[in-house]
């Protein structure tokens, strides 16, 4: 829908609307109208009634049955880009791999569960190559980086997603459990980030890294001491990496999922009492689909996020604000 048509419709329906507001509202409400095109027309300042007008325009859009497709693939967005995706055998990692390939990218997808990983790779096609990797081991991660170099010559993006979860009250958390979770979730992000960032530096690639943190890095949940510590470490490591890698033109961000429909959360989601308790703290009263988390991860990896670094974006249905 053009701005001209939108203006006509607003006037027709007697919505109180300043003419200079229309381009802004079109830019926000209609994807085909780019913000750059709006700014090119000289609309530099938001008008005083901007927020009232946004509400009016949303109401009009509903009347006209205007729909915005959420999570729609952006064809060719990652054409010519290469990535390494860890924890890609299922859940969010699989969703990231599928969408990255669908949007034109090529990726080395890795996981410790090789049978599941190979099944995912077969279903996606030749855009991805599977490899068994244990992110807890430096030799395995080094082999991953070397394989990526052999395949693509360079890596543009690292999605550091591999992670595990286990529950226990603090006094019942064993050293073995703590070490296993920290080594996978925090040390794994460190090892993979260091190996791929070094490859980016060596090849002169101004790439980006997207780490998977968690809402547990911001809120407190009982029986998750090891997991929360590991994801808090990822959040802070993301910030330090962003500072240290900025001179090389490498951006580093993270996203923090809440409850997501993955194997990791099956036990909790199967408990109706626990689910009801957690949902009472969510603005959006449901668990996320893996594809919803993947959409944010890919945004952070895209040129649309070119001025973002060191940020951890909450994708938690509003959990952290309640």
40, pLDDT greater than 50: no
Q: Pick the residue with more confidence: 27 or 143?
A: 143
Task: At 4, list the tokens.
Answer: 């001209």
- pLDDT tens digit sequence for 158-207: 999 999 999 999 999 999 999 999 999 999 999 999 999 999 999 999 99
Across the range 131-140, mean pLDDT stands at 98
User: Percentage of residues in the chain with pLDDT exceeding 70?
Assistant: 77
- For 254-284, the pLDDT digits (tens) are 999 988 888 777 777 677 787 776 777 778 8
What pLDDT does residue 39 have? 41
pLDDT at 61 over 80: no
Average pLDDT for residues 44-52, to the nearest whole number? Answer: 53
Domains of the chain: 3-63 (no CATH), 82-321 (3.40.50.720)
- In this prediction, residue 15 carries a pLDDT of 42
In degrees, to the nearest 5, what angle opens at C-alpha 128 toward C-alphas 206 and 306? 25
- HEC string for the chain: CCHHHHHHHHHHCCCCCCHHHHHHHHHHHCCCCCHHHHHHCCCCCCCCCHHHHHHHHHHHHHHCCCCCCCCCCCCCCCCCCEEEEECCCCHHHHHHHHHHHHCCCEEEEEECCHHHHHHHHHHHCCCEEEEECCCCCHHHHHHHHHHHHHHHCCCCEEEECCCCCCCECHHHCCHHHHHHHHHHHHHHHHHHHHHHHHHHHHCCCCCEEEEECCHHHCCCCCCEHHHHHHHHHHHHHHHHHHHHHHHHCCEEEEEEECCECCHHHHHHHHCHHHHHHHHCCCCCCCCECHHHHHHHHHHHHCHHHCCCCCCEEEECCCHHHC
Residues marked as catalytic: 227
Amino acid 70: pLDDT: 52
Q: Tell me the whole-structure pTM to 2 decimals.
A: 0.78
pLDDT in tens, 63-117: 545 444 556 789 999 999 999 999 999 999 999 999 999 999 999 999 999 999 9
Tens digits of residue pLDDT in 11-39:
444 444 443 444 444 444 444 444 444 44
């Amino acid at each position: 829908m053009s701005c001209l048509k939108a203006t006509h419709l607003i006037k027709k329906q007697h919505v109180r609307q300043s003419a200079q507001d229309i381009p802004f509202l079109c830019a926000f409400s209609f994807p085909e109208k780019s913000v750059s095109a709006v700014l090119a027309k000289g609309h530099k300042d938001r008008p005083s009634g901007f927020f009232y007008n946004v509400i009016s325009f949303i109401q009009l859009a509903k009347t006209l049955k205007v729909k915005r497709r959420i999570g729609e693939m952006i064809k060719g967005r990652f054409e010519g880009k290469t990535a390494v995706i860890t924890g890609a055998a299922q859940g969010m990692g699989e969703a990231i791999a599928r969408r990255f390939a669908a949007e034109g990218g090529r990726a080395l997808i890795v996981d410790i569960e090789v049978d599941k990983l190979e099944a995912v790779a077969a279903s996606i096609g030749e855009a991805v190559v599977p490899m068994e990797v244990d992110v807890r081991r430096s030799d395995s991660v080094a082999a991953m980086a070397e394989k990526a170099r052999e395949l693509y010559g360079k890596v543009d993006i690292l999605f550091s997603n591999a992670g595990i979860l286990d529950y226990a009250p603090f006094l019942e958390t064993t050293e073995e459990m703590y070490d296993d979770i920290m080594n996978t979730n925090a040390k794994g992000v460190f090892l993979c980030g260091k190996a791929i960032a070094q490859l980016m530096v060596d090849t002169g690639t101004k790439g980006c890294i997207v780490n998977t943190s968690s809402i547990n890095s911001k809120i407190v949940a009982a029986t998750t001491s090891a997991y929360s510590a590991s994801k808090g470490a990822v959040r802070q490591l993301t910030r330090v990496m962003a500072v240290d890698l900025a001179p090389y033109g490498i951006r580093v961000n993270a996203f923090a999922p809440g409850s997501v429909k993955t194997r990791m959360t099956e036990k909790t989601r199967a408990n109706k009492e626990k689910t009801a308790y957690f949902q009472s703290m969510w603005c959006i009263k449901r668990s996320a689909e893996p594809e919803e988390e993947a959409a944010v991860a890919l945004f952070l990896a895209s040129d649309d996020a070119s001025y973002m670094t060191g940020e951890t974006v909450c994708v938690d249905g509003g959990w952290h604000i309640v």
